Every structure is written in structure tokens, then in C-alpha cells.
Amino acid sequence: MPSFTPDVLDDPDALQLADRAGLLRALASSGAHVRRALSTADDFGISRLAGEAPRSVLVAADAQAPYLSNLLSVLCSGNAPVIDWREPVLPKWVGSADALIVVSADGRHPRLAELVDQAARRGLAISVAAPAASPVGAAAARHPVADVGHLASVSTRAMWWALATPALQAIQAFGLVDLPGVLEALADGLDEVAEANRPDSSAFTGPAKVLATDLAEAVPVIAGAGPGATVAARRVAAAIQLVGGSTAMAASLPDDVARVGALLEFAAADNDFFADRVTNTAALPRLVLIGDDDPYSGAPEPAAPEALGGDAARRAGRALADLAAQRGIGASRIEVPDAHLLVRFAAATAVGDFAACYLALGRGIDPSAPRLGELPH
């Protein structure tokens, strides 16, 4: 992997010069994207989605909204199944009792336009986030469309929340989740992360810059304690790999505790203290723990089975942190606020996005440049 120059992170001018497409600035606008989606809810036509809760929700998204369906599944758990649908044809069993959510940054994906057309013919409830003038937007012209055409000049790597917010509004309108004031708090949380991780923040105190430095010479192992944190871990690992240029893996706690524990233990076994650090440059893993799904102070206590599951996830996280310390392997933690699961998710993934960007800039990589295999529609 390219060498990392930590001094760059303490030079705001050098950062802005290297960030040619302005990804840092675009990421800092995530809170504004959420607020715009909230302020244009009437234009979106979200009220037309209200009614009887759907039997199931299919989610079809392009590459700019990774793991959105996983997040919606966690939020809707117990009320309706959420299915990540990647086929060009809807399943035979869906009909007017079901719903389709489509999100697309440019709206040019022919598969997504075809799915919208099929769903319209079968009578599904449809919610779309895409440029209104695009093929996907045109296919959904008679249905609620959140127009994201105004973001045409924004890096697609900073559009996650602009695409996700209409989907969150849709599942709320469907009656599958109750989010009173949560989306507003989410926007505030994204602003706070942006402020703490701005380019002129200290490389020694800014959470994202510290995390980027910690991960520069390691193989990140991002572990989420609980369902929501697990989705955040996957999002963060994907950003570090796509944007930051590192090999990264995500893990779900408590299920993956043995797998991650074995990785830490066997990696440490090869870590000879007397090895030549010049010729032996194999990177060790670095454990990164993301929050947990504890009930926060403003929420009712969960049912006993959920509490047991949360306890198991937290015990697994502590066990891995202890093992890393015993084996001399570094460990980091992405702190999350005492808030709703969705606000925690936003804070964790925003720190991860900034860290991935700083990791790229420290390596001299353009964080916005297309990667091999990223194909236009």
C-alpha cells in the first residue's frame, strides 16, 4: 500500500490542495443534505405513502448507497421484512401489499428504472430518490420522487445521506418505524462530526485524523457491537477500502467474536519483537470497535431477549479489546453519542468517512477519483 505521511494531516492548505474534488467539504454538508430532504418532504410527496403498512419492503439501490437496505432492515425489524433486491425482475410474489424503495445518485441505472416500471404495473407502493429528469425519476413520475438532481456536482461518495433520508422518510410514512425528531437530531450529529473533523482540526485530537493515523500501517478490523453498529462497521470498512486504499474487514459482534479473536491471536503469534522492522513489513491487524446498541436514556427499556443480545455483543467487544491488549495489537474505538440508534449510526459512519478521506490524503491518493471497476451506467 502507498506510504502514509502523517504531517499532511496537520497542514490544512496541503489537505485542501490534495483534495482536488473537495470530498472533505462535501462530507461536511451531509447534515445539510438531511435538512434539505426534510424541508422538501411536501415536494417529495411523502404523505402519499401513508396508509396500511406494507407486507414487505424491497430496496433497490445503486453503489452510492451501500448497506442502506441493511440499516432499514434493522430499523424495521419486527414490523416487516426488508429485502435487498439486486435482480432486474421483481419476485413473482410481490404485489399491491408490498413496497419498493429505489435510490440512485444519477438515476441512469437501467435495472432500477425497469424495477420501478414493473412495480408501478403491479401496484406496489413506490418511493424513489433520484434526479427527477433521469430515467429512474421519469419511470416514477406518478409516484413520490425525492429529486436529488441539485447534487449533480457533488461527489457521489458524499451523497449517502441525501439518498438515505428519503428512504428513512418512506419507512416512517409506511408506519414501519417511528422517528419523531430523530432525523433532525441526526442532522445535528452529522454537523458535530464535521466540526470535530474539519481540515484545520488537530491531527492529535480530531477523531477521524487520529483514526486514520492509527490505521495507516495496519489492516483494519472494524467490529460492530449489535445490529446497528454492525451495519456501521460494514459501511466504515467499505469506505476505508474504497476511499482510503486499505484492506479492511468488518465483523458482527457477538457472532464473529471467535473469528476475529483467532485473527488477532494468530497475527500476534507472528509478531516477533526482535524481527527486522525494515525487511519485515507485514501489517498487523488493528481492532476498531464501534459503539453498541444499548438503550439510550430517552428510550424505553428493551425486552429481555434484546437486552441479553446486547449484553453478549458488549461482552464480545470487551473480550476482543482485552485480547488485543494482551497480544500487543492496537485497538481503537469510534465513540457514539447517547442517542437513538440512527443517530449513533450516523455519527460512527461519518467519522469513518472522514477517516477514510484523511487516510487517502495522507497516502497521496485522490479520495474522489474513480477506482478500477467503477463503471458508468
Residue 304 forms part of a structural domain: yes
- Residues 47, 87 within the same domain: yes
Q: 98 and 54 in contact (C-beta within 8 Å)? A: yes
pLDDT per position as a tens digit, 53-73: 999 999 999 999 999 999 999
- Residues 177, 286 within the same domain: no
Domain count, the chain: 2
Per-position DSSP letters for 167-234, written without gaps between them:
HHHHHHHTTS---TTHHHHHHHHHHHHHHHT-TTS-TTT-HHHHHHHHHTTEEEEEEEESHHHHHHHH
- Residues 158, 240 within the same domain: no
**pLDDT over 90 at 375, yes or no:** no
Please state the three-class secondary structure of 58-96 as a single string: EEEECCCCCCHHHHHHHHHCCCCCEEECCCCCCCCCCCC
Residue 47 forms part of a structural domain: yes
Residue 314 forms part of a structural domain: yes
Per-residue pLDDT band for 283 (boundaries 50, 70, 90) equals confident
Per-residue pLDDT band for 304 (boundaries 50, 70, 90) equals very low
- Residues 204, 246 within the same domain: yes
Per-residue pLDDT band for 330 (boundaries 50, 70, 90) equals very high
Residue 376 forms part of a structural domain: no
- Residues 117, 177 within the same domain: yes
Among the candidates 148, 183, 218, a domain finishes at: 183
Residue 1 forms part of a structural domain: no
pLDDT per position as a tens digit, 215-232: 999 999 999 999 999 999
pLDDT per position as a tens digit, 136-184: 999 999 999 999 999 999 999 999 999 999 999 999 999 999 999 999 9
pTM of the model: 0.93
Containing structural domain, residue 249:
6-23+198-362
> Which residue has better confidence, 374 or 195?
195
The mean pLDDT of 9-13, rounded to a whole number, is 95
- Residues 165, 75 within the same domain: yes
Q: 305 and 248 in contact (C-beta within 8 Å)? A: no
- Residues 204, 344 within the same domain: yes
Phi, psi angle pair for 57, to nearest 5°: -125, 120
Report the CATH number that the domain containing residue 171 is assigned in CATH. Answer: 3.40.50.10490
